[in-house]
Structure 1
Amino acid sequence: MAPARRAAGPARVRPVADPTAPPGGLTVAPSPLDPGAALDPHPVHRRLREEFPLTYDPLLRAWVLSRYADVATALTDPRFTHGHRPGDPACARAHTDVDLGELRSVAERTAFVLARRIAGRERADLVADFCHWLPAGTVAAAVGVPYRDMMRLVRGRAATALAGECGGQIAVREKALASFLANVLVDPDQVAALRDAPPGLVARAWAESLRRDPPVQIAVRRTREDVPVSGGVLPGGSSVALLIGAAGRDPERFRDPDRFDPLRDDPHQLTYGPGFCPAVILAGLEAEYAVRALFQAMPRLRLADGFRPAPAGLITRAPRTLAVLPNG
């Protein structure tokens, strides 16, 4: 059964919430920056989608969009300015002479080296010991910088100069990988399904994790002209906060949106654009070889007793720790 359709808002009226006017008895919309949202933003996102699809947030100093259709439009429509999102058309046109075989090779080699370092331990933290290192290691190998030097350069924010604007987004890939491994390891059925899965299934699980738990929760754009959206019209020249985390769990677009389901028949994610980009490819390869390397080096790998991943963060979001028992 298709998800229920919510009632459509007025198509071409000005937003109800005017940032220059006092509340005047109007119900105040919650803010994505409200206290507690860093631990669990989903109740705020749900209320914004359902009751305030267009509202002005004084903390963000921007209009806020939370429904999937509006956020997806803002990320691709020329009536909005476009920030740098790997895989968008402008990004895709900038990449030439990319050796896909080399990208695959460095991702595989780095993942297996890191996994073997963890395998002999009684307990490990996959965020600190694996996710923190894999994206930096693949970039280091790809650009020919010694690994020990790359980590120093990354923390000094020189990765972008070496690997380009896309390849240098190491922190985003680190968080995305942490959320992906958390989604896999928290469910024994997912572990069993992905342990020896073909690359296609791992890629679907990776895309599903980006949908459900995107590493970047809020992106900012600006309107070039008036744009009709759910709940009203965005004024031209306005700053707009796009709640990617809310859009990825919109029940109007996704069936059972809070569930992690690599086999869902309505997939999509908004973290990356659909075009060619080595950073997007590399992120997918890192996820694929993370699963392969970890389970090959540690067939009995599981979460530590009593531990459950706890994502945190407002603008970017991911588990800060993943306590595991490498040998079960």
Structure 2
Amino acid sequence: MSHDQHREPGRGTGNDLPEAPPADPWTRLPSMAPATPPADGRATTGRPGGVLRTGPASLPGRVPTAHRTGGPRGAGVVAPSPLDPGASRDPHAIHRTLREQFPLTYDPLLRAWVLSRYADVATALTDSRFTHGHRPGDPPCARAHVDVDVAALRAVTERTAYVLARRIAERPQADLVAEFCHWLPAGTVAAAVGVPYRDMMRLVRGRAAGALAGECGGQIAVREKALASFLGNVLSDPDQVAALRDAPAGLVGKAWAESLRRDPPVQIAVRRTSAEVAVGGGTVPAGAPVALLVGSAGRDPERFREPDRFDPFRDDPGQLTYGSGFCPAVILAGLEAEYALRALFTAMPRLRLADGFRPVWTGLITRAPRSLIVRPGG
């Protein structure tokens, strides 16, 4: 079989991903051209006996759909794609196969090399050789945000959370995603930048958010999803509700970080290599697009004990959604989680999930529960 049959797809072969709902631009990956394959049409792999080919040959006007082959023995094993049918409802089996058998593989649906292990994804998010992307809390934030009043952000977040909680406290049933999570991040940004309440959703959501609150602060939809996952994880376990109802801020912060690890709002981050980079599964070529499976990394059993379990008390934390540096968006996200719990449990001490309801996480690129149906009065 010729090497031509294993080239990466060429330019101009169609869109990178299926269309996403226009109301949520954060669910789309940015457009990106495929990398130029190495001269010999292959990338090396650190696993025995195998070569990771760069992908199927492209045909004019046709989007290739074949997946990668290779695997531990390099003998025609088909690697799954994070975009395969069914992945939106349950990506974890796909992630497990990729971590165990295909730690470095080219995915023609994503048009990118794929990294799925915690060590590789964590490295790619901080290594300067991986470019064309920014994560709130990474070093550039500390240089960009020099005049942030954290006390004012706290006050704004607390006030907004309590107003929203009181609006639904007397209802027999409510959806926390639509009636709370959808509003709290937008409300805090609106109040912080002085946007009138009546103009909040028109100005703060969408493109205006970046102009009003900066690149990081404008990522409101991501914070909505993170908050929905956090509340879904807490409310799904009565023991967690009891532990966190009147918990100090430190414990709430641990629960927030644990939710970001287990169910990150952004499942796939995209970068591009400026040079060849050795990773656990081989070598990523220079100038290549790389898809970092943040959702897979957070459930890597090589890094976390019982990775599928939501455990705020775990002694091996390690979320990858945000960097560790100073950033108002990271601060806001943490404050929104803290005051969401405090406001909801203060306004509705007997708050619980509705009878028979269990949160269902969905999404390919971003992921969160679509609804959280609760009984405010217990």
Give the TM-score range, shorter chain.
Answer: over 0.9
Cα offset, 1:131, TM superposition: 0.1
**CA shift digits 1:256-280 (9 cap, x unpaired):** 1000000000001000000000000
SS state at 1:174 partner: helix
Tell me, in whole angstroms, the C-alpha distance in 2 between the residues paired with 1:245 and 1:323: 24
Q: Structure 1 residues 237, 55: CA separation in 2 closer, same or farther (over 3 Å shift)?
A: same
Identical-residue share of aligned pairs (%): 79
TM-score normalized by structure 1? 0.95
Say whether residues 1:19 and 2:55 are aligned partners.
yes
Say whether residues 1:106 and 2:152 are aligned partners.
no
CA contact under 8 A between 2:189 and 2:204: conserved in structure 1?
no
Q: In the alignment, what sits opposite 1:252?
A: 302
Tell me, in whole angstroms, the C-alpha distance in 1 between the residues paired with 2:195 and 2:49: 55
Cα offset, 1:157, TM superposition: 2.0
Say whether residues 1:242 and 2:292 are aligned partners.
yes
- The aligned amino acid for 1:168 is G
Count of residues in correspondence between the two structures? 320
Tell me, in whole angstroms, the C-alpha distance in 2 between the residues paired with 1:180 and 1:44: 23
Q: In the alignment, what sits opposite 1:6?
A: none
CA contact under 8 A between 1:14 and 1:232: conserved in structure 2?
no
Tell me, in whole angstroms, the C-alpha distance in 2 between the residues paired with 1:194 and 1:188: 10
Q: In the alignment, what sits opposite 1:3?
A: none
SS state at 2:105 partner: strand
The equivalent position to 2:199 in structure 1, one of 146, 149, 156, is: 149
**CA shift digits 1:208-245 (9 cap, x unpaired):** 00000000000000111111112211000000000000
Q: Structure 1 residues 265, 230: CA separation in 2 closer, same or farther (over 3 Å shift)?
A: same
CA contact under 8 A between 2:229 and 2:368: conserved in structure 1?
yes
CA contact under 8 A between 2:190 and 2:204: conserved in structure 1?
no
Q: In the alignment, what sits opposite 1:129?
A: 179
Tell me, in whole angstroms, the C-alpha distance in 2 between the residues paired with 1:73 and 1:15: 23
Tell me, in whole angstroms, the C-alpha distance in 1 between the residues paired with 2:319 and 2:97: 21
SS state at 1:324 partner: strand
CA contact under 8 A between 1:67 and 1:250: conserved in structure 2?
yes
Q: Structure 1 residues 292, 236: CA separation in 2 closer, same or farther (over 3 Å shift)?
A: same
Q: Structure 1 residues 76, 14: CA separation in 2 closer, same or farther (over 3 Å shift)?
A: farther
Q: In the alignment, what sits opposite 1:168?
A: 218
Q: In the alignment, what sits opposite 1:195?
A: 245
Q: In the alignment, what sits opposite 1:61?
A: 111
- The aligned amino acid for 1:19 is G
CA contact under 8 A between 2:69 and 2:79: conserved in structure 1?
no
Cα offset, 1:19, TM superposition: 1.8
Tell me, in whole angstroms, the C-alpha distance in 1 between the residues paired with 2:232 and 2:156: 23
TM-score normalized by structure 2? 0.82
Say whether residues 1:229 and 2:279 are aligned partners.
yes
CA contact under 8 A between 1:11 and 1:230: conserved in structure 2?
no
The equivalent position to 1:120 in structure 2, one of 170, 192, 201, is: 170
Q: Structure 1 residues 28, 14: CA separation in 2 closer, same or farther (over 3 Å shift)?
A: closer
Q: In the alignment, what sits opposite 1:4?
A: none
SS state at 1:222 partner: strand
Tell me, in whole angstroms, the C-alpha distance in 2 between the residues paired with 1:17 and 1:27: 12
Q: Where does 1:70-85 land on structure 2 (aligned, <5 Å)?
A: 70-85=120-135
Q: Which aligned segments of 4 or more residues in structure 1 are displaced greater than 4 angstroms?
A: 11-15, 20-25
Cα offset, 1:18, TM superposition: 2.4
Cα offset, 1:159, TM superposition: 0.8
Q: In the alignment, what sits opposite 1:10?
A: 46
- The aligned amino acid for 2:52 is V
Which of 83-92 and 129-138 deviates more? 83-92
Q: Where does 1:261-280 land on structure 2 (aligned, <5 Å)?
A: 261-280=311-330
Q: Gapped runs of 5+ residues in structure 1?
A: 1-8
Query: Relative contact order (C-alpha < 8 Å, sep 6+): which is higher?
Result: 1
CA contact under 8 A between 1:86 and 1:272: conserved in structure 2?
yes
Tell me, in whole angstroms, the C-alpha distance in 1 between the residues paired with 2:218 and 2:81: 30
CA contact under 8 A between 1:11 and 1:229: conserved in structure 2?
no
Supply the RMSD in Å over aligned alpha carbons.
1.7
**CA shift digits 1:48-75 (9 cap, x unpaired):** 0001000000000000000000000000
Tell me, in whole angstroms, the C-alpha distance in 2 between the residues paired with 1:266 and 1:23: 34
**CA shift digits 1:5-37 (9 cap, x unpaired):** xxxx72899952322569596111000000000
SS state at 1:16 partner: strand
**CA shift digits 1:80-113 (9 cap, x unpaired):** 1051210000122110111010000000000000
The equivalent position to 1:91 in structure 2, one of 124, 127, 141, is: 141
Tell me, in whole angstroms, the C-alpha distance in 1 between the residues paired with 2:308 and 2:138: 26
Q: In the alignment, what sits opposite 2:376?
A: 326
